[in-house]
């Protein structure tokens, strides 16, 4: 979790992660793993509740009531508001857009991998190893 950094040299123990997942099992797992690495963790079961916790109302106006969050980890596929929908709202908010958002998913529709654009040479190497492994 070295990607989670504070703005002013904060120690990992001071960092607060908001975990968003509709699965209580996955929320507990994420929470346990992050707490074991000395992160403060708040969990919620939906994108809507995440926005409420962050102080965003229906009009996406940010209030100062929300806790300081250093990172959001959200499930991609949730009923109502998806993780991608949550990402869009956070990045459109002037008060929240600097918060890093990580999207996780257990979706397995038969895809062998997931690549982020733009592709890099390392991605192509990964693809090559997948192809070589499947034709052996």
What's the pLDDT tens digit per position in 5-54? 444 455 544 799 999 999 999 999 999 999 999 999 999 999 999 999 99
Structure confidence at residue 110 (pLDDT): 67
Domain CATH code at residue 70: 3.40.50.2300
Q: Please check whether residue 117 lies inside any domain of the structure.
A: no
Is position 124 within any domain?
Answer: no
Residues 72-102: pLDDT tens digits?
Answer: 999 999 999 999 999 999 999 999 999 999 9
Q: Which residue carries 């600097």 as its tokens?
A: 98
Look at residue 32 and tell me if it is in a domain.
yes
What confidence tier does 1 reach under pLDDT thresholds 50, 70, 90?
Answer: very low
Domain count, the chain: 1
Residue 63 lies in a domain: yes
Whole domain around residue 66: which residue ranges? 12-108
**Burial profile 62-71: b = 16 or more Cβ within 10 angstroms, e = fewer:** eeeebeebbb
| Bond preceding residue 48 cis, omega within 30 of 0 | no
In a domain, 64, yes or no: yes
In a domain, 3, yes or no: no
The pLDDT, as a whole number, for residue 67 is 78
The two three-digit tokens of residue 133, written as one number: 């492994």
- Domain membership of residue 136 (yes or no) is no
The answer to whether position 133 is within a domain reads: no
């Amino acid at each position: 979790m070295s990607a989670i950094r504070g703005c002013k040299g904060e120690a990992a123990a001071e960092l607060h992660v908001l975990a968003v997942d509709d699965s209580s099992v996955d929320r507990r797992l994420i929470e346990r793993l992050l707490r074991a690495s000395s992160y403060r963790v708040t969990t919620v079961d939906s994108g809507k509740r995440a926005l409420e916790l962050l102080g965003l109302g229906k009009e996406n106006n940010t209030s100062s009531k929300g806790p300081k969050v250093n990172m959001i980890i959200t499930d991609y596929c949730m009923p109502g508001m998806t993780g991608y929908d949550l990402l869009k709202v956070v990045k459109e908010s002037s008060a929240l857009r600097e918060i890093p958002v990580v999207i996780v998913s257990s979706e397995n529709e038969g895809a062998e991998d997931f690549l982020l654009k733009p592709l890099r040479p390392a991605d192509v190497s990964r693809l090559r190893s997948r192809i070589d492994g499947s034709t052996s």
